[in-house]
Amino acid sequence: MIDSPGGSVTASDRIYHMIRSFRQRHPIPVFALVEDIGASGAYYIAMGADEVWVHPTSIVGSIGVVVFNVGVTGLMKKIGVTDRSITSGDEKEMGSPFRHMSTKDQQIFQDLVSDLYSQFLGVVSKNRQIAPDQLKSIADGRVYTAKQAIKLHLVDRIGYREDLVAHLERVMHVSKFELVRYREPFLSGTGLFGESSPVGSPVADPSLLIPAIKKLGPTPLYFWSPSLGGSMK
């Protein structure tokens, strides 16, 4: 079950890797079922499954990378505050809200984002069997409805939980499944967003990410949220 707008690039990739490793070790079909949202890092994770199912009202996609960043140099100048940080190099404070972002800073961040975006594209292209050139035209960060995602081959089927269970019973020749839902958090109790995630819940809350962004500074994320910038078509 997936219901998340994503999270950090490393957490997303690690969970994806764990699912892929499980499939290699065990001859058990792995299906992902998206509830409300399966966007960005959550969609990345879904790529580890044999099939991706979505509810009729699910929102999926947002293939892309974002580095949130704010600048307060104008405000600091207005109120008479001066940054006195001492660094070992010009780029050590790259992305700091207390300094102007130079053209060089922007290019370094863009190269970082482009590299991680290429990683995301590769995972989707491989698992959805979509040519990279074709994928780029739809992987611009936007999200899609279930019907749109089916047409674009981003997911496999539209259905409800009971539909997926019935399908698995037929595929595995099992008369009846017992559903078990685990509540243990991913990644040693840190959750998808690290220490800001609610322990015990795999569902990501976008509001919990904002304090983390402010505390950590510019952080590459596989993340989507209309409140923080996003698009839907």
**Model confidence band, residue 208 (pLDDT cutoffs 50, 70, 90):** low
**Residues noted as catalytic:** 40, 92
- The string of DSSP codes covering 122-181 is HHHHHHHT--HHHHHTT-SS-EEEHHHHHHTTSSSEE--HHHHHHHHHHHHT-S------
What value does the mean pLDDT take over residues 100-108? 82
What value does the mean pLDDT take over residues 18-37? 93
What value does the mean pLDDT take over residues 31-54? 95
Assessment of whether the complete model's pTM goes beyond 0.85: no
Q: Candidates 3.40.50.2020, 3.90.850.10, 3.40.50.620, 3.90.226.10; correct CATH number of 2-228? A: 3.90.226.10
- pLDDT value at residue 232: 43
Whole-number Å distance between alpha carbons of 61 and 46:
10
What value does the mean pLDDT take over residues 86-104? 75
Whole-number Å distance between alpha carbons of 170 and 226:
39
Q: What is the pLDDT of the chain when averaged over all its residues?
A: 81
Contacts of 20 (CB under 8 A, 6+ apart): 48
What value does the mean pLDDT take over residues 156-168? 92
**Model confidence band, residue 124 (pLDDT cutoffs 50, 70, 90):** very high
